[in-house]
Amino acid sequence: MALFDKLGNYRNFGLLVIRVGLGIMFVYHGLPKLEGGVDTWKGLGMAMKNVGITFLPAVWGFLSAATETIGGALLVLGLVFRPVCLLLLINLVIAALFHINKGDGLMGASHAIEDAIMFAGLLFLGPGKYSVDKK
């Protein structure tokens, strides 16, 4: 359609919109988990049982919350972008497995799966030119 033909010229702006939007939402969802303390972290870390890891749930939960919060902020900036995408992808795969194994099915895991797909794609695309990591 002719109306949309020129939008490809704004690829980097589109990547900026995706980065900032997802980053803000990950900080918004991650910060309460990070501030929740040891009990919250233990609850989060118990999701690691789904991949056979049962030791130190509070540490895994803290790492998950920190990945969401700090990773979201780094996403907004476009700083260490690909490593952040990889960590968030791993975090979301664990979240999806947690929901599926809990009995929530695909509907309950869909948000984590959708975000994981987005981060998998961004891993290949990179942050775009409007980022600290720009090339």
The DSSP letter of residue 74 is H
Q: What percent of the chain has pLDDT over 70?
A: 99
Confidence of residue 1 (pLDDT cuts 50, 70, 90): low
pLDDT(134) > 90: no
pLDDT(100) > 90: yes
Task: State the Cα–Cα distance between residues 38 and 31, nearest whole angstrom.
Answer: 14
Confidence of residue 103 (pLDDT cuts 50, 70, 90): very high
C-alpha torsion 19→20→21→24, nearest 10: 120
pLDDT(132) > 80: yes
Tokens of 16: 């900026």
Give the chain's mean pLDDT: 94
Confidence of residue 5 (pLDDT cuts 50, 70, 90): confident
The per-residue pLDDT for range 17-35, each reduced to its tens digit, is 999 999 999 999 999 999 9
The per-residue pLDDT for range 83-93, each reduced to its tens digit, is 999 999 999 99
Q: What are phi and psi of 127, to 5 degrees?
A: -80, -15
pLDDT(2) > 90: no
Number of H helices, E strands in the chain: 5, 0
Task: State the Cα–Cα distance between residues 45 and 58, nearest whole angstrom.
Answer: 6
